[in-house]
Chain A
Amino acid sequence: MPYALVSPYFILFAAFGLFPLAFTLYYSFYDYDLTGTTEWTGLGNYVALLGDDDFWRATINTVAMFLIATVPQMLLALFLANALNKHMKFRLPIRMSVLLPLVTSVVAVAVVFTQLFARDWGLVNYILGWFGIDHTNWRAERVPSWIAIATMVDWRWTGYNAIIFLAGMQTIPKDLYEAASIDGASRRRQFWQITLPMLRPTMIFVVLNSTIGGLTLFSEPMTFYNGNPDGGSQGQFQTVAMFVYKEAFREFDYGYASAAAWLLFLLILVGAAINFLFVRRIGGTR
């Protein structure tokens, strides 16, 4: 009987989890296109990818946007969580407001931000103009486009991660802080010496989540170029996920796209491992 209860999940897993993964691997060793002709190429697709400038550009774009988005986001989310952890009125409404971005759809957000970042009439350039900064062509240039897309990502996820950090903070025993206060440690010192190290398990969860989400970034950069997987006229903000999509569903080069999907998975594994080791060291006196 127990097997019958878990079987729906595992049947779905076989059909929509294991089967696609295995076949992606299988396709990646073949020249496989729309006509269905398949020819064994061994590691040919992988070798070609590693020599493909477009693939490398997409990889660099993805990693750069991930870093530009994640580093400030983690810091902001930590400080925001610390602020939310204070005693004050309207706690629930305040917490709900920072989660507001989560209840919007990614495409809707990307549409709004694309308009906000428009060169001639966008609000961002208008406000920067008050400080004497010339209009930036956010979409046309590489680093500005990364910043614009990272802003969309951060707007959506900072509040969410702050709430997760807040949950972690509330599991830290209060007497640790009492003891530190008696020893004369300042509030700031308590944050760095108690809160941060105790928050490490939560941080690992949040960082790993952000790593997977960040390295598979797709919807925001797609929408930023009106639903086109080229990622700008020079591919300046094309991500690896967009590269896979473009190779598979516009070039119909299924074998090549499958190999790229596996390299993306590899990138996620490496990224996750690096971040895991990094977080473990944070405040790492223990």
Chain B
Amino acid sequence: MTVWKPTVLTRVMLGLAIFLSAFPLYWMLVIASRTNADAVASPPKFLPGGNLGDNIVRVLTHPEAQFLLGLTNSFIVASVVTVSVILISTLAGFAFANLNFKGRNALLLLVLLTMAVPLQQMGVVPLYRLMVSLEWTNTLKAVILPYLLNGFGVFLMTQYTRQSVPMELVEAARVDGAATLRIWWNVVLPAVRPGMAVLGINTFMLMWNDYMWPLIVLNQENPTVQIAINGLNARFSTEYSLIFAGTALSIIPLVLVFVLFGRQIVGGLMEGAVKA
């Protein structure tokens, strides 16, 4: 068995990669904890200052930023979409993987095709007109609904269910007289839990980050967190310490997800890549 030992060059390269990956985040903290004057100082200040608390309070209480509302809205949007996508995807995944029905393969192919079309960019105009005519603009509904369509989720859960729920198990449950939904709840869901975790983390991060569509359908009075930052950036672009405190706050939930589920994220990515 060959054991690949890292050379010195490899170690240096990895060290550099880690440093470069972490540095902008460190820099975010440096500027967020300093004053505006420090942010534009030359030579630059490389160490964090003592104004982090001040800046955070400033951004949270800024009358025009609606930052706290933005954080809350993002949390609602991301959570609702994540839970719904998991439900929709596990249901469909179960049907595609374990049940026989006419047109199954054709429908699955359709799911795959929808994954390849950048719907977000392609359909914005009619989607926006739809939201206007429903009078849903500036409501969270308008952000949530289009994202419940998630082809990747259905595809992923189909693969997961195929792998982890043997047909015999479904047949056996059926012989015992269990209804289809019961089988889904009692047999399928417990078995595909790791897949649900991967999909959930993925969807939550995607929604938390979403920028273009909320920018179109929401305004600054009822923003998601990205739109709140965008508003600060557009109107007070030189208020570096204020904006950076906002960006630092905005990534806290993602950092938490990463700390709690880092192992699953790495594992899920690697598994997903091999399957696709």
B255 (CB) vs chain A CBs: closest residue: A103
Shortest Cβ distance from A90 into chain B, in angstroms?
10
Q: Is B28's CB under 8 angstroms from A112's CB?
A: yes
Which of B92, B99, B154, B234 contacts A228 (CB under 8 A)? B234
Cα A248 to Cα B212 in complex, Å, equals 13
Question: Secondary structure at chain B's binding surface: helix, strand, loop or mixed?
Answer: helix
- Given known A-B contacts A113-B24, A174-B1, A264-B121, A103 and B205 have beta carbons under 8 A apart: yes
Q: Which residues of A contact B209 (CB under 8 A)?
A: 105-107
Of the 9-residue stretches A40-48, A49-57, A67-75, A80-88, which lies at the interface with chain B? A80-88
Q: Is A261's CB under 8 angstroms from B266's CB?
A: no
What's the tally of chain B residues with a CB closer than 8 Å to chain A? Answer: 99
Shortest Cβ distance from B108 into chain A, in angstroms?
9
Shortest Cβ distance from A85 into chain B, in angstroms?
7
- Given known A-B contacts A80-B17, A167-B274, A223 and B6 have beta carbons under 8 A apart: no
Which of A103, A121, A241 contacts B251 (CB under 8 A)? A103
Q: Which residues of B contact A1 (CB under 8 A)?
A: 99, 180
Q: Is A275 an interface residue (CB 8 A)?
A: no
Q: Is B92's CB under 8 angstroms from A20's CB?
A: no
Q: Is B122's CB under 8 angstroms from A20's CB?
A: yes
Q: Is A167's CB under 8 angstroms from B271's CB?
A: yes
Shortest Cβ distance from B106 into chain A, in angstroms?
12
Q: Is B262's CB under 8 angstroms from A96's CB?
A: yes
Q: Is A109's CB under 8 angstroms from B42's CB?
A: no
Q: Which residues of A contact B18 (CB under 8 A)?
A: 94, 97-98
Shortest Cβ distance from B47 into chain A, in angstroms?
13
Which of B40, B116, B149 contacts A120 (CB under 8 A)? B40
- Given known A-B contacts A103-B205, A105-B226, A121 and B41 have beta carbons under 8 A apart: yes
Q: Is A27 an interface residue (CB 8 A)?
A: yes
- Given known A-B contacts A112-B244, A115-B39, A241-B212, A265 and B122 have beta carbons under 8 A apart: yes
Q: Is A174's CB under 8 angstroms from B2's CB?
A: yes
Of the 9-residue stretches A7-15, A140-148, A230-238, A278-286, which lies at the interface with chain B? A7-15
Q: Is A171's CB under 8 angstroms from B274's CB?
A: yes
Cα A68 to Cα B234 in complex, Å, equals 27
Shortest Cβ distance from B13 into chain A, in angstroms?
5
Shortest Cβ distance from B48 into chain A, in angstroms?
14
Q: Which of A152-174 contact B (CB under 8 A)?
A: 155, 158-160, 163-164, 166-168, 170-171, 174
Shortest Cβ distance from B58 into chain A, in angstroms?
16
Q: Is A6's CB under 8 angstroms from B91's CB?
A: yes
Q: Is B255's CB under 8 angstroms from A218's CB?
A: no
Q: Which of A256-276 contact B (CB under 8 A)?
A: 257-258, 261-262, 264-265, 268
Of the 9-residue stretches B49-57, B123-131, B189-197, which lies at the interface with chain A? B123-131
B254 (CB) vs chain A CBs: closest residue: A103
Chain B window 1-39, contacts with chain A (Cβ cutoff 8 Å), 1 for yes, 0 for no: 111111000100110011011101101100100000001
Q: Is B123's CB under 8 angstroms from A126's CB?
A: no
- Given known A-B contacts A80-B13, A86-B6, A111-B233, A241 and B126 have beta carbons under 8 A apart: no
Q: Which of B61-108 contact A (CB under 8 A)?
A: 87-89, 91-92, 94-96, 99-101, 104, 107
Q: Which residues of A contact B22 (CB under 8 A)?
A: 97, 100
Q: Which residues of A contact B167 (CB under 8 A)?
A: none
Shortest Cβ distance from A39 into chain B, in angstroms?
17
Q: Is B269's CB under 8 angstroms from A160's CB?
A: yes
Q: Is A101's CB under 8 angstroms from B274's CB?
A: no
Shortest Cβ distance from A245 into chain B, in angstroms?
7
Q: Is B273's CB under 8 angstroms from A164's CB?
A: yes
Q: Is A136 an interface residue (CB 8 A)?
A: no
B27 (CB) vs chain A CBs: closest residue: A112
User: Which 7 residue pairs are nearest across A and B when measured between Cβ atoms?
Assistant: A20-B123, A23-B126, A167-B270, A108-B247, A5-B95, A2-B101, A86-B6
Q: With A17-B119, A111-B244 given, can you name 5 additional A-B contacts, CB distance below 8 Å?
A: A15-B145, A98-B18, A99-B269, A107-B209, A228-B234
B interface list, Cβ under 8 A from A:
1-6, 10, 13-14, 17-18, 20-22, 24-25, 27-28, 31, 39-44, 87-89, 91-92, 94-96, 99-101, 104, 107, 110-111, 114, 116-130, 145-146, 148-149, 154, 180, 184, 205, 208-209, 211-212, 215-216, 225-226, 229-231, 233-234, 237, 240, 243-244, 247-248, 250-251, 254-255, 257-258, 262-263, 265-266, 269-271, 273-274, 276
30 contacts between A and B (CB under 8 A): A2-B101, A2-B104, A8-B92, A9-B88, A9-B89, A12-B149, A20-B123, A23-B123, A23-B129, A27-B125, A92-B262, A96-B263, A98-B21, A99-B266, A100-B22, A103-B251, A104-B25, A105-B208, A106-B211, A107-B230, A107-B247, A108-B251, A116-B24, A167-B271, A174-B1, A181-B2, A222-B230, A241-B121, A261-B124, A264-B122
